[in-house]
A and B are shown apart, each in its own frame.
Chain A
Amino acid sequence: MTAELVRGQNHPLSRTRLTIRISAGVPVLAGATLGDENGTVHGTRWVARPGAPVPPGVEVSQEAAPEHRLAVDLAAVPESVHRVDVFLALPTGTAGPSRFGAAPAPHTAVEDRDGTELVGYTLTGLDGESAVIALELYRRQGAWKVRAMGQGYSGGLPALFADQGLTEAAELAASLQQTAAPTPTRAMPAPSSAAAPQDASAPGTAEQTPSYDPQRLASDRGTQSPVPDHGAQSPTPDHGARNPYDGPAPAAEPAPRGLGGPIDYAHPRRHSAPPPPPSAAPVDDGQPALPVAGDAVGWSMDERLYNQVWGMFEDLARTTAAYRSAVDFADSRLEKEVDQALADPRARLGTSGDIARDAAYARRTELVDQARAVLDRDLAQLTAEAEVVEPALPPAYAGWESPVWHGYRVPAEQPLAVRLGVLHLPESGLLRIPLLVRLPLERGLWIDSGVTEAPDDTVRDSAELRRLAVETAVTIAARLLAVHPPGEFAVHVVDPAGAGAGALTPLTGAGMLAAAPATGAAGVTDLLERLTRRVDLVQMAVRGGAEASLPADVDTARQLLIVNDFPHGFDERAVTRLRYLADEGPAVGVHLLLVADRQDAAAYGPLLDPLWRSLMRLTPVPDDHIADPWVGHAWTYEPSPVPPGSQIVRQVLAEVARARPKDR
């Protein structure tokens, strides 16, 4: 039975000898890269490409063609290889299209050697990319699975190879383009026509097809290349940051499921009816269904993913509540039973007291173990779901480590929600739930730069915290800028003492701000006055039903006001204005992002309490202060981490800057 995959979905592979069939409608290059568990490809010899000796286990076509067959023998792939990425690229310097958006949606299929199709995947929604990773075969706990990737690269093959850690990416891409240039005499691929004749020593194996050359694979197996040096690979980031290669690369748009028709006429973003939600594959009774991204109700893939993430949030809250309730009960019962054992004077002498106490402890352990087993089962299921859902999230929902940000393009419409960070509980292990908040934001945000009690008792430096708080504010602002269509979101900064200048450079450097950060009391007053006027005018216009008659200088884009170091540089009047903006702003598109230490405002006494309460408190470091709406656990919040050393925020902001309307 064929499983038609959507982007991000994976599927187990029961066979190891496979043929990957690619039909693209226009001539394309096809090949495969063999990477380690981090997806890093150690040198060009691990790239199966035309005109070069192939790595063990993989056979590729020799030139660009509309149809390809790649033979893969996963059993022959060296132990060190954990990922086989099948890529497609458009040949350069030909009359054909230069971007996949101008070509029919390529269809890929994984077949066993009998030609039975196991998995199909159509790469829809591509646009300016000229190279794309179509499928990924990867090892997971000793077994191979296939994942629908669809990760496109506008930079073409060089960008694709560079992303896989190949240093000589550009040269490799150039040589590949050259050797694979289609020759007019051979319009159809002949994957193994040049290979040796069939090995007579393996007759009758049903898996044999002409495109498969066991002799060659067998000889390769005998002369396996040495294992790539894994000691040299870059260390994976800790604290749950995901490896960007762990997941496939989804796009912002839902990938409508369809068979590999020659041309995908559907408008990628227009749906007359919502596409059918992907349903979990039927499984045996009693087993939880295999998780599928987007397995929730909703009119669009975005809404489904949003609902799914919130569903996972609720499930985790409730299963943890069950566990905690059981542990509490076990503890109180233990206490009671031990008290009873001690209260009995006869038990004080002799061993009967000890026996009773041991029995009580055993009963507690038994109950807690049972509860833990249930929790672990649920956690395993949710973790499996998160592994599927995270890679399928669009940029607005995805963590900065997600590959989807590498293929970032400015959106045409505002998303449903945005990710402000991740949540977890002490019991939840490595599982992280994205904190998705609906847009437009109904409450302002407050990044608390105050010193909080760290879970690990480390005393954090106040200056360090202030810097982290501004950085967190910047990444949140960058994300908000990136997920809004160009020109529909403007950012203002108040930095009275200029204390955040360094951390604000990603914003100021990319020219993201409407004006330079306001400094000094005068600057603060001026900016607040302008925003107050805007709120007032828009409110009046909305109430009067006269949005069209707003003065020309009123910016109708949503405004985000970042205030650093509040309340420095604020006089009483400015504080009052800020409170007005916090109360009235969100309804008319003016949002607040306050970076402040509440202690600094202690002089105001309780007067500012309503302001703090009206803002959503976030912290630059993990802190357990967010309550879920169902049970009220204290969840540990942490901002979505930007992978160390990653330039992704700057890259995304540069893309946003490029797409900005020039008249602003």
Chain B
Amino acid sequence: MSVNLTKGQAISLEKKDGGTLTAVRMGLGWQAAKRRGLFGSRTREIDLDASAVLFAEKQPVDVVFFRHLVSDDGSVRHTGDNLVGGVGQGGDDEAILVDLQRVPVHIDQIVFTVNSFTGQTFQEVENAFCRLVDETNGQELARYTLAGGGAYTAQIMAKVHRVGSSWTMTALGTPSNGRTFQDLMPTILPHL
């Protein structure tokens, strides 16, 4: 059963049966812009980008985004940049896979963000969502709807962080503005 997260809500990634999650996927989906122009060539495409920033005690150590698809240690993988969006029916258009067991020992937080690379605010984007999926069985753990996100071009979605030997996810849902994750760093830091 999926949980619709609200801002600041934390869910533990420990499974019901006591085992911890081993692999999670952060999925991002949105509906492509309406076709414009005679041949659709003048469509104002919407390009949202998912990024993940790896922190060690509040210091950014590595980042996974469309220009660096795999973290150096190999534990976080981006499936590839989607420049236009999808049909908007709940499928992931971009995804970041995290192998929690392989995350280096000093990394204690991973923050997921969404940016509008092409500059449209979330008001203009339809059916945008972000969700967290248990990669081992495809079960959706949490979903966050971006629609109605207001006149912002970026959002800090969620963070997964170590609590003892397991991981917990906290929904952040903080709106921000920026083209790539770099612009968001000042907004991310207070949440660590």
Contact = CB atoms under 8 A, between A and B. Distances in A.
B146 to A, nearest CB: 32
B72 A630 contact: yes
Contacts of A371: 104-106
Interface in A318-346: 318-319, 321-323, 325-326, 329-330, 332-333
B19 to A, nearest CB: 10
B127 interface: no
B61 A322 contact: no
A631 B72 contact: yes
B59 interface: yes
A374 interface: yes
A370 interface: yes
Interface in A354-383: 367, 370-371, 374
A321 B73 contact: yes
Contacts of B57: 329, 333
Contacts of B61: 325, 329
Contacts of A631: 72
A280 B61 CA distance: 35
A325 B56 CA distance: 10
A315 interface: yes
> Of A322, A332, A374, which is in contact with the most chain B CB atoms at under 10 Å from its CB?
A322
A322 B73 CA distance: 5
Interface in A232-281: none
A329 B56 contact: yes
Nearest to B57: A333
Nearest to B103: A322
A370 B165 CA distance: 13
Nearest to A370: B105
Contacts of A330: 106
Contact of A325 (B70, B72, B102): B72
A315 B62 CA distance: 17
Given A329-B59, A329-B61, A374 B72 contact: no
Contact of B105 (A314, A318, A321, A326): A326
Interface string B54-84: 0011010110000000101111000000000
> Of A315, A326, A330, which is in contact with the most chain B CB atoms at under 10 Å from its CB?
A326
A475 to B, nearest CB: 34
A460 to B, nearest CB: 33
> Of A325, A367, A374, A630, which is in contact with the most chain B CB atoms at under 10 Å from its CB?
A325
A321 B72 CA distance: 6
B59 A322 contact: no
> Of A318, A323, A333, which is in contact with the most chain B CB atoms at under 10 Å from its CB?
A318
Interface string A520-547: 0000000000000000000000000000
Contacts of A326: 56, 104-106
Contacts of B59: 329, 332
B72 A319 contact: no
Given A325-B62, A329-B59, A333-B57, A318 B73 contact: yes
B130 to A, nearest CB: 26
Contact of A630 (B62, B70, B75, B105): B70
Contacts, number: 48
B183 to A, nearest CB: 24
A321 B71 CA distance: 9
Interface residues of A, number: 19
Nearest to A332: B59
A318 B62 contact: no
Nearest to A318: B74
A322 B70 contact: no
Interface in A294-335: 314-315, 318-319, 321-323, 325-326, 329-330, 332-333
Interface in B29-74: 56-57, 59, 61-62, 70, 72-74
Contact of A374 (B56, B62, B104): B104
B74 A325 contact: no
A333 B55 CA distance: 13
A82 B74 CA distance: 39
B105 A374 contact: yes
Nearest to A330: B106
Contacts of B104: 322-323, 325-326, 371, 374
Contacts of A318: 70, 72-74
Contacts of B74: 314-315, 318-319, 321-322, 630
A367 B73 contact: no
A329 B70 contact: no
A367 B72 contact: no
B63 to A, nearest CB: 13
Interface in A369-420: 370-371, 374
Interface string B100-135: 001011100000000000000000000000000000
B22 to A, nearest CB: 10
A222 B59 CA distance: 68
Contact of B106 (A315, A319, A367): A367
Contacts of A325: 61-62, 72-73, 104, 106
Nearest to A372: B105
Contacts of A322: 72-75, 102, 104
A428 to B, nearest CB: 15
A367 B56 CA distance: 12
Contacts of A329: 56-57, 59, 61, 106
> Of B62, B73, B74, B105, which is in contact with the most chain A CB atoms at under 10 Å from its CB?
B105
B143 to A, nearest CB: 29
A370 to B, nearest CB: 4
A318 B77 CA distance: 12
Nearest to B102: A322
B49 to A, nearest CB: 22
A325 B103 CA distance: 11
Nearest to B73: A322
A631 B68 CA distance: 11
A321 B102 CA distance: 12
Contacts of B72: 318, 321-322, 325, 630-631
Give 5 closest A-B pairs by Cβ, nearest first. Answer: A322-B73, A318-B74, A322-B104, A321-B72, A326-B106
21 contacts: A318-B70, A318-B72, A318-B73, A319-B73, A321-B72, A321-B74, A322-B74, A325-B61, A325-B62, A326-B106, A329-B59, A330-B106, A332-B59, A333-B57, A367-B105, A371-B104, A371-B105, A371-B106, A374-B105, A630-B70, A631-B72
Given A322-B102, A333-B57, 12 more contacts: A315-B74, A318-B72, A318-B73, A318-B74, A322-B104, A325-B72, A329-B56, A329-B61, A370-B105, A371-B104, A374-B104, A374-B105
